Chain A
């Protein structure tokens, strides 16, 4: 079955880089996603990576994919206090569509 796992919590200082890690199980996933959830809000798509790519960079965000180890990471450069939120990785379901399997989320706390 599908299972996506993330560490629960990460604390960094403002200006440092943050790295949020994720492991997934479904090797057939075509795309993998990172979503952000701020308090009291829904989820916002941050970025995604196609499964035949190793890396994708989008401004301060860098996604690394190790398909062999089924490991996905999100690096946020120059982390700001406004980046404090919960970050979810997600893989596509077996039948694709809009079905995503989310991890439990990593709460990022940025200290000034």
Chain B
């Protein structure tokens, strides 16, 4: 069975640009959450979507947005990129909206120059 897949795996952007990261959850999982992992730190929660609705949002600026599609895949968008947005962006899926049992993808590594 396919796990959580994310694309792209690596990308380089410059300050001020926009980025879109994509995530396909495990088949049957309706909940998708996004985490940011800065090098050397633990992951930080950004968003959770369940059944196409935002269910939770972490302490991130409005430059960060996300959505979930009818097939439960998800996109994370970041506008006006800053150097500090350089990080590994992890997507996790779950069959249940209220559980910490998350299945993570391998992440999209974003470098902002």
Contact = CB atoms under 8 A, between A and B. Distances in A.
Given A33-B101, A42-B104, A99-B48, 7 more contacts: A41-B106, A97-B56, A97-B98, A98-B97, A98-B102, A100-B100, A102-B44
A100 B36 CA distance: 12
A88 interface: yes
Given A40-B106, A43-B104, A90-B100, A100 B90 contact: no
Contacts of B31: 98
Contacts, number: 72
A99 B48 CA distance: 7
Given A98-B31, A98-B56, A99-B56, A92 B100 contact: yes
Classify chain A's interface size.
Answer: 20 to 34
B42 A102 contact: yes
